[in-house]
Structure formats: C-alpha cells, structure tokens
Structure 1
Amino acid sequence: MGKLSMAAASILCMALAALAAVGEAAVVEHTFVVHEMNETHLCNTTKIYVVNGQFPGPQIDVTEGDTVVVRLVNRLPHGLTIHWHGVRQIRSCWADGAGFVTECPLPPGGDHTYRFNVTGQVGTLWWHAHVTCLRATINGAIVIRPRDGKYPFPTPAKDVPIIIGEWWQLDLVELDRRMADGNFDDNPLSATINGKLGDLSNCSGVPEESFVFDVEPGQSYLLRIINTALFSEYYFKVAGHTFTVVGADGNYLTPFETDMVTVAPGEAIDVLMAADAPPGHYHMIALANQPPLPDPQIPVFISRGLIRYAGVPNDNNGLPVPVPIMPNQHNTMPSFYFHNKLTGLAYPERHRVPMHVDERFFITLGLGSICRDPTKKVCKRRRSNETIVVATMNNVSFHPPTTTSLLERYYDGTGKGVYTEDFPEHPPRPYNYTDRAMIPPGPLEEVLEPTFKATKLRRFKYNTSVEIVFQSTALLQSDSNPMHLHGYDFFVLAQGLGNFNPKRDVYKFNYHNPQVRNTVQVPRTGWAAIRFVTDNPGMWYLHCHFEFHIVMGMATAFIVENGPTPETSLPPPPPEYKRCGANGLSQP
C-alpha cells in the first residue's frame, strides 16, 4: 500500500508539474469593436474606420506560447475581416482572416471570434483589416515577448511601437473601388507616426500634433517599427542617434549598427536606440521614398516626431531642435543596402535552410492591362480609356471570389469552377524585365501589357521544399514589391539588382544565416530569392503589400495538403467559424 501511494504521489507530482508548465501559457483576450469616427486634420473633418476609438488600434501583448482570443464586433456598413499579419497560424488557417481566401467578410452588425496560438515567434508582428483599403486605419501592433524573459541583446528599459502610416481624406472604400478600376492616381495627404501627422503638416499656420517619446539619459529603448502604409516604403531616422537592428517579422536578426531604418509596407523592424546624446530634444522623421521619373510621381509624404529627454525644458533651452538628414526621396538604393545587410541570428536546430528543392518558381511582378469591354479581345493599350490597368504575377492578375472563400471550397472539395490549380511556374515569355524603356510613354510595353484575370492557385504536398525567385519588372512602372506570404516564415537567401541570372546569382545565396521573414522587399527592378517548406496545411494567401498592387491583382494562394498524421493536418473549422453561406455575407 505504501509503495502504491508513493507511486501515485510520484505520478501526481509529474502531472502537477506538467500542468504547471502548461499553465505558464496564458489566454489573452480582447474585444475589437470596429466603427466609424470623425477626425479633423488639415482643416478637414474625415470619416475614418477604427477599433475601439483608437488610431492606430489596440496593441496585443503576449508571451510566446500564449493563446489569443479576439472577439470582433462589426459596426461598419461594410464587410470586414482581421488578419494577424505574420502569425504562423499552425493548423489554425481558419483564423487567418484573409477576406475571401480563408473566410467571407463579417457582415455589418455581426460578431466573430478569432482564436490562435502564438508559438515559436518572438518580436513584433501586427494585425490589420484585410478587406478593401480599411487597413489604413484599422491596424495595430502585436508584441510577443520571450517566455523566459531573456533577449539575445541587452534588455531595454522600455519598448514602444513606431507605427508608420498614412492619412487619407478620401473614403477608404471609395479608394478601393477606384483602384479596382485601374486608377492609382489618388494619394494620401500625409504620412503619420503613431497616428500623428507631425508639425511639418499644418493648416492655416497651425501645425499638426507630433508623436512625442520621452526618454531617460543613459537608458536603451526597443523601437518596434511597423509600416502599415498603403502606398509607400519609408526611411526612418532620429537626429543625433543610431540604431542597433535586432529583429524583424517576429524573428531575431544578427545585430548591426545603422543610423537609418528602411521599412516597407508589411514589414516590422525591431531596433535598439540608446538615449546617449546630450540631453535635449531631437526630431525623428519618417519619409516615403519613390522611384524617379518616368514612373508616376506622388507628393512628398513625411511625418515628424520628437524624442524628448527627461528634465529638458519645453523650449529645449532655447536651442534649435536637430533634424536628421534624410536621403533624397527618389533614391531607393538605401533600401536595397539596408535589406541586404539583414542576416538571421542562427538557431541551427530551428532555422535550417532546406538544401534540396522540390519545386522552383520564377515569378515576375509588374503591371498589365485588360480590355475594359470584356467582349473585346483587342483594345488600345498604353493607359488608354479602353483598358483597365491591373497588377500581375507571371502575367496573371488574381481574381478573388466575392461570395465564397477559397479555404471553404478547398476543404469541402467544391473548388471546381471557383479556382484552378495551374498558377504558372514562370512568365509566359522571357523579356528584359528591368528595361526602363517599358515605363510609359513607351511604346515597348504595349506588346507585353495584355493580360487576363483568373483565380489561379498552386497546390503542394505536405513537406515540400519550395524556392521562389521574385523578379520586379519595369512593365508600366518600376516600383519595388513587398511580398507577403500568409501562414509561413521563409528564408531570404539573397537579393539583387537587375535581372536574376540563375547561373551567376545562385552563388550569392546565404545558406548559413539568412534572415527569416514573412515579408520580403523585392527591390525596384531587382529580385529576391526565398525558400520554405510546406509544413502548415491550409490555404495561404501570397500577395504584394502595396494596397494598389493587391487590389489590382498581384496575388495568388497556395494550397498545402494534409500531412500523414492528425497533428500534420488541417482540423475542421472551429465552432466559432462562420461559413460563407450562413453568415449573411455582405460585400464591402
């Protein structure tokens, strides 16, 4: 009896220990009420869409391993989904929140619960609306802290999100409609830092409010820099200070010093900033870059904030406040150099590059056109009134469904007639992809721009090693392309300028410590090579994170089949999931 009691006690102790270990993970719950709100900036009152009255929206703070539960309440007159950008969603594809890809939009007056785990990721991610252009104001940070509380760099005194965005006066739903019609001439009025336009923007001589960050001399701060903008990549600097880059997209990086961060739409970059300058006030600047002429030009988008040392008077002791020297807005090379410096902090047991490749893709990214009259096969090109400008991948412009979701159709086996699984592995014809003579007024682009809209996907077996080389082109414009893959992190093996040369450029691939990302900035008229293994079953959206590119069709989706066990298979939809036919679908 005694021996049995001791054995039972031992088992009980082990069970309690296991429960204690499990109990370390928490359930983090939020309620997101999405509604309209009026905001006045630059002498105009504008209707915007927000969560809980906040712009940017609420920050989600979790510890690695926690479960997140968000109840979404839609008080908008439009459909809505929320995407948890960069969260791996292991076996929880149903919660990914990609409109018409993994779910239909939540209709006005509806509520929906998202539930997912945050495992194997530490750093900064973010969340945003994923229907129409609503992510311009419906967004916020996701901060994932290490479970043991230890960082591979000095622990900062404080961390703060630096959310770079844009201020739009045009209604965002109308903006989406215009872009879907091939119009990308609309522009925001200003850049924003944490929702503030900054004192460089003014109306009748009254400057806008700036974001202000108070620091203590001698302390170190972790800046979590996120680009939520619809249109632009941004340069970010703080006068008199340097940064140590330590992470990106929820993964650690090999630290390196820089005085400027470049962040593309969709990216999240973590940097340490030491408050080691002479105590005073210092301006921070977020400046949008853009290609030079002959590309279509946009106004200068800039926001200015303030670093303020404790104990310094509001007048900065009568001294002028230093302003950082920024690159020319048309100089995109600093972006290329910055992204090329990023390498991963090696964790061989977790981050091992697959050395074999099962499937290879060469994907060109550019613009094209379709005839405005669908009954015509021939129409006048070169941005004429007879055509609609679209965005393409391998000359296919993605046509998403509008009454169903791709994941539901795949799961139910009813995808026939909704999508095909023949997304091309390469463009239909080779050409000089980066010839800037293809930017209008042309005429070299005319023969290359005809394309078509289709819902072409690609299916992969579980545990397939996939390599993609993205090639930015100069077809109709020469912009960069921040490519985001849902449900996966991938290795960025290399980036380069010009046309990718498979015989030469493969020798540049970094197999030792490549950066691990969910969004890769494919440089202007350049290329980027990524590799990943399909170990997460489901339906996963791949798209450019420039909003006009995604609305105009620079997207596809990858189907990943189930693995051999229940643990490697997509489970049935959870009880809280609302199927398209049963949720009173309302299109935006």
Structure 2
Amino acid sequence: MPRYPWTDGPEYITQCPIQPGSKFSQKIILSSEEGTLWWHAHSDWTRATVHGAIIVYPKNGTKYPFPKPNAEIPIILGTFKLTVDHGKTYLLRIINAALHEALFFSIAKHKMTVVGTDAIVQYRGYYTPSSPPSLPHFPTYNDTNASVQVMAGLRSLADAEHPSNVPLSPSTKLIYTVSVNSFLCPNNSCAGPNGTRFSASINNISFQSPTIDILQAYYYNISGVYGDKFPSVPPLVFDFTADYLPLEYQTPENGTEVRVLEYNSTVEIVFQGTNLVAGTHHPMHLHGYSFYLVGWGFGNFDKNRDPLRYNLVDSPLQSTISVPTNGWAAIRFEASNPGVWFMHCHVERHLTWGMETAFIVKNGKHLEAQMLPPPSDMPPC
C-alpha cells in the first residue's frame, strides 16, 4: 500500500483494534502486485478464522508470462478435493492460512512449476519428487534437502518486462537474530521449560505492544509510546546455532523499539536463527514492502564469506521468507514507501511471544514521496 499505512491492519502498530459493534473501512492501494494475496485479522489469534483470498489479475491488454492455464483454482490449505481433466494445465493459487506450521504441497506423479509468490508473478523454478510416489510423499520434519531443493530453485525472470532491481550497495546493513526465549516465573509456576514462560525476540528484544498505535504516535508526534533505538546488530554475540547454550542467554529484554530508516535508503537485513530454547524455522514477513532474497544458508552467517555467494542477478522478490532452522537468510530492499511498517514472524505463537518490531520510513522531500493523511474513521484508542 504505497504511502498509506493507515489501513495496513496490525493492532497497536498502525491502528488500534476495531472494537466489537464498530466498523472500519479498509482501503487497499495496489502498486505492482499481480497474482495471489490473502487478507487476515491481525489481533491475537483471530486470523485462525478471519481470513480470505485476494486475486489480482493482469491489467487489460497484458497477460501472464507463462502459457494460459485451462483453469485457475484458489486453495486455502485444508481438506479439499479437486477433479481435473487429463492433459490440461491448472493454476493453483495456494494459500497457507495455518497459524503455526509451514506446510509442504505436492501432487503425486506430477511436476509443478512455481510461477509466483506473494502476488509477484516473475518466477521460474520447479519441484519434482526424487522418485514418483504412488501416494503424495512429503518431506520429513528434518529433511533439509527438500527445503534446499525448493528454495535453491526459485529465481526471478529478470527480463525486460520483469527487471530485477536488487540494491547492489546497501547503505544500511542490519543483522537481526530471531530467537525463541523464556522468562522466569515465580516458583517456576509456568508451562515452559523448567517452569518458565515462553517468549520470543528479535535481537534479544521481546516486543511489548504500546497503549496506542505507533503510527498515530509517529504522525502526531506523541512521545513516550515507542523507542527508536532498535539495535542494528545482536547485543550479545555467541555461537548462535551451538547444540548447548548457556541458560542465561535465554532471557530477553522487554521493549517497544523500532528502527528508523531514511527515505530511499537501501537496506540489507540478515536474519540469523538461533538454537536458544528450541531452534526452529521463522517465516519473517515485512509489511509495506517486497524484498529480494539474496542469500541463505545453514549455521552462522559469515559476514566475510557468505556475501560473496549472494545472488544479485535473478534473486526472487518476496514479502515473506522462511529463515531455516539454525540458519540465516539475507534480504535487500529500497526504503521507498514512507510510513510505519510491521515486521514479524508469521508463526502466530512466535508473534504473540514477541518476535516482532517495526520500521519507520521517513518522508521524502517531494509531496509524492510523503505519507498520505489518515482517513476520518480510524478506530479510537
């Protein structure tokens, strides 16, 4: 939504919650999106049932950069049955609306071509099972080769109609650890490990929601709502993916900190997974932007070695990327959309535990580079 974060949705980030019995009109401004999107509630775990699909078709006079399919079928993952005709091509618009799980999708004895993700139709890549299964064969929970095959095969088209504009010399470089953590409880009375309470963090800060939304506080210059000192690098450096880590590393700081970005600055973020409490994958999602996935790998990110292997030619453009278990992922984007934009893990329990933060992107000098004013019916705080 270019220059219009007011109806982006996340509570206490861009608006206060819509109260029972009240209403709020969500205005959606599209830019270059084309393909399959989805909408969902952004308050506690309500998106479990409050969600749906949005399909953006090509403009009149244009077409998809692939042969026209015989049929298009939107699928919000669950239990479904689809009858197809032999020899025909089907475009499946697959949406994972699950709260807590990454899902694999496969069709027995068939090859699938990825043609788009996150409403970005500029992909080439294939997934073919290593041996044709008689029944759908899914990777095991620890089958890293399956994820390597899928992720490594994704490339953007990078042609004249779908250029790849990867920032080559980022002006802002950030390293963000993403961790599952725990807090001590009185008398070890909580349900987490050793009587602790689960939490989660980015750069050891477990996000605490303010009492009014950050966007309103920023726009109207209301002090005391948030801090702007979110660390650029992990405050504590250790072997993030070691098998055994000291217990004292598990407790994060509470805070409501954001990162301020200059308009049109070019940004690189390296998400580093850790093995604190439980090493697991983290689908990191950035509101208001699409970004280029320039690199990823397992283990600890090496700032001297790993950037040499970045893909800066035809890297995929996405708005969500899964950080591998005990691994890392590097993204780049240009901060050209002013406003307040939420960034969080899309595993709902990790989000509610505190694996979230926000970027404030300043206005540019010209009117067309500045945030649009708020609507008149913003939900009151």
Question: In structure 2, which of residues 70, 73, 76 is the aligned counterpart of residue 160 of structure 1?
Answer: 73
State the Cα distance separating 1:137 from its structure 2 match: 1.5
1:539 to 327, 340, 355: 340
Q: Which residue of 1 aligns with 2:380?
A: 580
C-alpha distance in structure 1 between counterparts of 2:257 and 2:281, whole Å? 23
- SS of 2:313's equivalent? coil
Could you tell me whether the CA contact under 8 Å between 1:246 and 1:255 is conserved in 2?
yes
Give the AA of the match of 1:108: P
Relative to structure 1, the CA distance from residue 106 to residue 384 in structure 2 (aligned partners, 3 Å threshold; closer, same or farther) is same
Q: For CA contacts below 8 A with separation 6 or more, give which structure has more relative contact order.
A: 2
Q: Output one character per residue of 1:150-190: Cα deviation in whole Å (capped at 9) or x when no partner.
A: 111000111112222xxxxxxxxxxxxxxxxxxxxxxxxxx
2:249 partner SS: coil
Question: Tell me, what secondary structure is at the counterpart of 1:94?
Answer: helix
Is 1:355 matched up with 2:141? no
Over 3 Å counting, the alpha-carbon distance change for 1:350 and 1:538 in structure 2 is: farther
Residues in 2 aligned to 1:149 and 1:112: alpha-carbon distance in whole angstroms: 34
**Residue 325 in 1 paired to residue 132 in 2?**
no
Instruction: Output one character per residue of 1:308-352: Cα deviation in whole Å (capped at 9) or x when no partner.
Output: xxxxxxxxxxxxxx5222222332431233112211111467531
In structure 2, relative to structure 1, the CA distance for the partners of 1:155 and 1:423 (3 Å cut) is same
Q: Which residue is equivalent to 1:343?
A: 155
- Quick one: which amino acid aligns to residue 223 of structure 1? L
- Which amino acid letter does the alignment assign opposite residue 142 of structure 1? I
2:269 to 468, 475, 479: 468
Aligned match of 2:38: 126
> Counterparts of 1:129-528 in structure 2 under 5 Å?
129-147=41-59, 148-164=61-77, 193=78, 196=79, 211-259=80-128, 322-347=134-159, 350-372=163-185, 383-385=193-195, 387-401=196-210, 403-414=211-222, 416-437=223-244, 444-528=245-329
Which residue of structure 1 lines up, in the alignment, with residue 5 of structure 2? Answer: 93
Gaps of 5+ in 1: 1-88, 165-192, 197-210, 261-282, 284-321, 438-443, 582-588
Q: 1:161 to 1:537 in 2, by over 3 A?
A: same
Preserved CA contact (<8 Å) 2:205 2:254 = yes
SS at match of 1:251: coil
CA distance in structure 2 between the aligned counterparts of 1:347 and 1:556, rounded to whole angstroms: 34
TM-score w.r.t. length of structure 2: 0.93
Of 16, 19, 30 in structure 2, the residue corresponding to residue 104 of structure 1 is 16
Query: Deviation digits for residues 424-467 of structure 1, max 9, x if unmatched?
Result: 11111211111122xxxxxx330211222110101111111111
Identity of counterpart residues, as a percentage?
Answer: 38
RMSD: 2.2
Number of positions where the alignment pairs a residue of Structure 1 with one of Structure 2: 376
Give 2:193's aligned amino acid. Answer: R
Give the Cα–Cα distance (whole angstroms) in 2 for the partners of residues 249 and 513 of structure 1. Answer: 17
Q: What's the offset of the Cα at 1:105?
A: 0.9
The structure in which a higher percent of residues are strand is 1
CA offset digits 1:362-397 (Å, max 9, x no partner): 111112223336xx9x99998333x32210111110
Distance 1:355 1:400, change over 3 A: same
Inter-partner Cα distance in structure 1 for 2:243 and 2:104 = 24
Indicate the SS of the match to 1:340. helix
Q: What CA distance in whole angstroms lies between the structure 1 residues aligned with 2:370 and 2:45?
A: 33
Q: Secondary structure, in 3 states, of the residue corresponding to 1:140?
A: strand
Describe the superposition over 1:104-131 as per-residue Cα deviations: whole angstroms up to 9, x where unpaired: 1111111111112222111111111110
Distance 1:113 1:490 in 2: 28
- Return the index of the structure with the highest Cα Rg: 1
Q: Corresponding residue for 1:205?
A: none
Q: Quote the residue 1:23 is aligned against.
A: none
What TM-score, normalized to structure 1? 0.61
- The one-letter code sitting in structure 1 at the alignment partner of 2:21 is G
Give structure 2 stretches of 5+ with no counterpart: none
Moved over 4 A (4+): 347-350, 378-382
Does the 8 A contact of 2:260 with 2:360 survive in 1? yes
The SS at the match of 1:223 is strand
The answer (yes or no) to whether the contact 1:368–1:392 under 8 Å persists in 2 is yes
Instruction: Tell me the distance in 1 between the aligned counterparts of 2:238 and 2:304.
Output: 17
Over 3 Å counting, the alpha-carbon distance change for 1:407 and 1:350 in structure 2 is farther
Q: Assess if the C-alpha contact under 8 Å between 1:436 and 1:478 holds in 2.
A: no
- Secondary structure class of the residue paired with 1:447: helix
User: Does structure 2 retain, via aligned residues, the 8 Å contact 1:369–1:381?
Assistant: no
Counterparts of 1:213 and 1:353 in 2: how far apart (Å)? 39
**Distance in 2 separating the partners of 1:529 and 1:347:** 23
Decide whether the 8 Å contact of 2:268 with 2:332 is kept in 1: yes
Partner amino acid for 2:167?
Answer: P
